Structure 1
Amino acid sequence: MTRAVVIGATGHVGTYLVPRLVEAGYDVVAISRGQAKPYSPNRAWDDVEMLTMDRSAMEKDGSFGPAIRALKADIVIDMICFTLDSARHLTDALTGHVSHFLHTGTIWTHGFSMVVPTLEETPKRPFGDYGIQKAAIEAHLLDEARRKGFPATLIHPGHIVGPGWAPLNPAGHFNLSAFSTLALGETLVLPNFGLETVHHVHADDVAQMFMGAIANWRASTGESFHAVSGGAVTLRGYAEAMSRWFGHEPKLEFLPYETWARDRTPEDAQATWEHIARSPNCSIAKAQRLLGYEPRYTSLEAVQESVAWLMANGRIG
């Protein structure tokens, strides 16, 4: 039986990926800090070997990579690597000891959108520590693949959504008050003209892409893929669609970002700037061609499922 280790297994994507692996016949080892449970219950977890590891602490003493290597996995899926040093530590330990290594990146490795939809091969100009570190990890893994044959695949999700957590909202931040405003039929104020874009993806569609990459090993190793819905949405289009989903005609107003930000918390204003400054709009043509990727959810369908869960659990009034 093929053995698959998932690092960060109980997060957004792992909630869907681990059961998919079990149902496909893999022997699955789930690594986590032991502080979180999957967002959705599934009996497949009964067949998973659960191990608790503190990655940060173990990397400091050099024991994390060897501990993962000792599990003798055929496939290692890393959901929670955020620095180049962390990536190097693990790849150094696994080189020659794993058949397929899959890393979870981000579409923020691109930085600003220049020509859309953005292709994976578009020259990257990331900004901000998160995007810069993730781009450095990507460059490292692809270099290891090309020079040493390290079997790396990179999956770059967009704004991940699904039941159990707050999705990126039409104002470009995560405060649920934006959805509450739309649900009540009140006026939502958006920055600029609301024409910047966001690109969601359902967590299960990201899991689907991981499965496609594993099934198409020859096509996926040494490559990067966008894991997003079939199309990005503008803030305005997103807000109008959600208003109608709540049963109201849209009531929107627009202000220049600097003016709009004055009435927001610093956290919300910064989150919105981070998203609209990038305005991602990414192509899935490569993943469709090489991996057979076909997202089940549009951006709006994915968000609506998330919001329905939030409403059912009393988090949106």
Structure 2
Amino acid sequence: MRIVMIGGTGHVGTYLVPRLVEAKHEVICVSRGESEPYQFHSAWGQVQRVTLNRETEEREGKFGKRIQEFEADAVIDMICFTPASARQLVTALRGRVQHLLVCGTIWIHGRSSQVPTEESQNCDAFEEYGIQKEQMTAYLLDEARCNRMPITVLHPGHIVGPGWVPVNPLGNFNPQVFTTLARGDELAFPTLGMETLHHVHADDVAQAFEHALTHWSTAVGEDFHVTSGAALTLRGYAEAVASWFGQEPNLKFLAGDEWKTGLSATDIEKTWEHLEHSPNCSIDKARKLLDYQPRYTSLAAIYEALQWLIQHEVILP
């Protein structure tokens, strides 16, 4: 197939684009041209790279038309964040593509009420990113089910891979948290540490998108969680990381404001955001309908990411 991938040089595209090339697809990668894939792969030599500023093109009402002009069989959109963006793309591609795949997020579920959460449960996002993605997903699925637009939405968890800092056991992105655990220093938590995070390796997300393409009949009109097989508690996550460095976990719970020491306002905000969500999602639907089989557990994905961070001296044991 001729496949256009929007936002193809990011976390998932680093793995998905080579998968598509190796499967003999013709790939056109559309991005702002400001970044390169996180890892080198010879497959990128066979990819047509196109620079487009989505924000500018959408503001002028041209983005959907520009994507339409590639005359693709399938379009994969990794950077659609609002229903307005989705609407512009769907309007331009209606009747012109075999498959439109869009990246959502497990954040659409808001606070967990029953776990593991299934796709049909409590879509009740409570912060702007999740609300916009929830509305985007609702619009896309309505277009698929009522207007026969061949759409699939895939919802990744916390994406992990070499080249960037994963969500840490405090629920933020400060690499110093990993250094604290590696050195056996005390790590303080504002709670009992039983909240959850649900990571997924970027290559497993890539696998899900590739399988959605090859399982067209069961993928169209559906949305799917794309995570590892099991979520982690903050406590269990911290204990595992400490053990990788030969340390006994030195953890303190219900630490008042003490846990905020050394953290920025953004770190603190992200911690509360992740604690409040505490995602724990089922992937049974993706396993059944897409034959999605994640290669990485949450901890295996995080371990690989930490090795890269150590090598590049982002974490200093």
Partner of 1:250: 249
State the identity %: 54
Task: Name the CA distance, whole Å, in 2 between partners of 1:27 and 1:302.
Answer: 29
Residue type of the alignment partner of 2:275: I
Give 1:255 shift. Answer: 2.2
Partner of 1:205: 204
> Which runs of structure 1 show a deviation greater than 6 angstroms over 4 or more consecutive aligned residues?
none
Give 1:123 shift. Answer: 2.9
After TM superposition, the score normalised by the length of structure 1 is 0.98
Task: Name the CA distance, whole Å, in 2 between partners of 1:117 and 1:210.
Answer: 22
Give 1:258 shift. Answer: 5.5
Give 1:105 shift. Answer: 0.3
Q: How does 1:1-317 map to 2 (within 5 A)?
A: 2-255=1-254, 260-261=259-260, 264-317=263-316
Residue type of the alignment partner of 1:158: G
Cα contact 2:113–2:122 (8 A) shared by 1: no
Task: Name the CA distance, whole Å, in 1 between partners of 2:296 and 2:305.
Answer: 12
Deviation by residue 1:174-233 (Cα, 9 ceiling, x = unmatched)? 000000001111111122000000000000000000011111000000000000000000
- For structure 2, list consecutive stretches of 5 or more residues without a partner in the other structure: none
Task: Name the CA distance, whole Å, in 1 between partners of 2:79 and 2:256.
Answer: 32
Greater shift, 293-302 or 260-269, is seen at: 260-269
Match of 2:189, SS state, is: strand
Deviation by residue 1:78-107 (Cα, 9 ceiling, x = unmatched)? 000111111111111111111000000000
Cα contact 2:75–2:101 (8 A) shared by 1: yes
Match of 2:138, SS state, is: helix
Task: Name the CA distance, whole Å, in 2 between partners of 1:256 and 1:89.
Answer: 48
Residue type of the alignment partner of 2:143: E
In structure 2, the CA distance between the partners of 1:48 and 1:126, relative to structure 1 (3 Å rule), is: same
Match of 1:65, SS state, is: helix
Match of 1:77, SS state, is: strand
Note the aligned Cα RMSD (angstroms). 1.0
Task: Name the CA distance, whole Å, in 2 between partners of 1:293 and 1:247.
Answer: 34
Greater shift, 246-255 or 14-23, is seen at: 246-255
- For structure 1, list consecutive stretches of 5 or more residues without a partner in the other structure: none
In structure 2, the CA distance between the partners of 1:128 and 1:210, relative to structure 1 (3 Å rule), is: same
After TM superposition, the score normalised by the length of structure 2 is 0.98
Task: Name the CA distance, whole Å, in 2 between partners of 1:306 and 1:170.
Answer: 14
Residue type of the alignment partner of 1:184: R
Task: Name the CA distance, whole Å, in 1 between partners of 2:255 and 2:208.
Answer: 38
